Amino acid sequence: MRAFNIADLRKRARARLPRMVFDYIDGGADDECTLRANTQRFRDYELTWDVLRNIAALSTATTVLGSATRLPFIICPTAASRLFDPRGGERAVARAAHAAGIIYSCSALATTSFEDIAAANPGPKWFQLYAWKDRGILREMLTRAKAAGFTAAILTVDVPVAGNRERDLYNDFTIPPRVTARTALQALARPGYLYRLWSTPALRPEIVHDAIPAIDGSLIEFLNSQLDHTMTWADIIWMIDSWAGEFAIKGLSTVADARRCADIGATGVWISNHGGRQLDTAPATIDRLEPIVQAVGDRVQVILDGGIRRGTDIIKALALGARAVGIGRAYLYGLAAAGEAGVARAIALLGEELRRDLALMGYSDIKSIRRDSVIAPPEARQKN
């Protein structure tokens, strides 16, 4: 595949998907300030290097929340993967992650069941929870995930309500897609995609479908109807106790919240702004990393997502204290561009860049990355 960076996969995805589906991957909330900042702010951090070092043997392996991985990046949980690759979806992503030896994370709104994902990926895998109103759904998810071999739970907490994603409004876009004049024209412009979508089972949130048989309307409507607006920190403790394993809380931006995570027994703090799809003008995640690591890095493992497009982005996050980073759009562009092969290409590109960049910096191992490997921009240093 002639794709030499994640941007190339994005172009291929755009050419293959109807506009409404591509915009669902590509877009953010409101004016998309945070969406752009997540990527742009990585460019403001600079890297230094050491010379005349032995780099004959490079290692990128690590362990994150008890799961071994060949590369220090994780497949983030993203909803409805079959929307972007109707025939493969979550299975395609799970297989590609397993083949690469990295951690796969399953969305609570996956269009494939826990059991089918586990059959496709016998390796390390995590799963996501939302703060549902129905505790029975949460208990069932914890039980089924454990039985299927998932080893870590991720509670996403930055979605008390769904963000204002205006591209979806302009496109009349919902999950599953509703037929309007606008969506029909966009779909007809991509007949290959339309055939793949119509020739496979209907899209639905498989993990929660049986628990709530009367799901009606769009996925966003369902999400908003099920989110518990009364849930607080005290309500999370029973989930951590019930799971009795590695438990990360995802969607944090402040030191105070990171400390609360550690205090209630979470083993992972996941810095995220939901890819710029929730609160717009929120700070880029890279700018929040160092103060959180300084506050809780000796108590919990810190993960970051948002804006990862290059191997240098990964190195910068590791230098500032992240145990690993999560990738979302990077692999979704690959999935949309070429299914499982596209996901594999996205993983391979980031892995190749990471290894090359480590060599250029004079490091033989990601454990050699130091805080002084990266120079933060002046304004970030002042915030810290």
Closest by alpha carbon to 10, among 334, 341, 340, 343?
Answer: 334
In the chain, beta strands by DSSP E: 46-47, 62-64, 67-69, 73-75, 104-106, 125-129, 152-156, 246-252, 268-271, 301-305, 324-327, 374-375
Strand partners, 268: 248, 301
Where b means 16+ CB within 10 Å and e means fewer, 305-320 reads bbbbbbbbbbbbbbbb
Active site residue 98: no
User: For residues 124 and 99, what is the distance between their CA atoms, to the nearest angstrom?
Assistant: 11
Give one DSSP letter per residue of 332-365, joined into a string. HHHHHHHHHHHHHHHHHHHHHHHHHHHHHHT-SB
Strand partners, 154: 128, 248
Closest by alpha carbon to 78, among 297, 353, 326, 252?
Answer: 326
Indicate which residue of 98, 209, 229, 274 is catalytic: 274
Contact 110, 90 (CB under 8 A): yes
Closest by alpha carbon to 302, among 265, 264, 272?
Answer: 272
Closest by alpha carbon to 289, among 307, 308, 304?
Answer: 304
Look at the block and give the residue holding tokens 């590369």: 71
Report the catalytic residues: 274
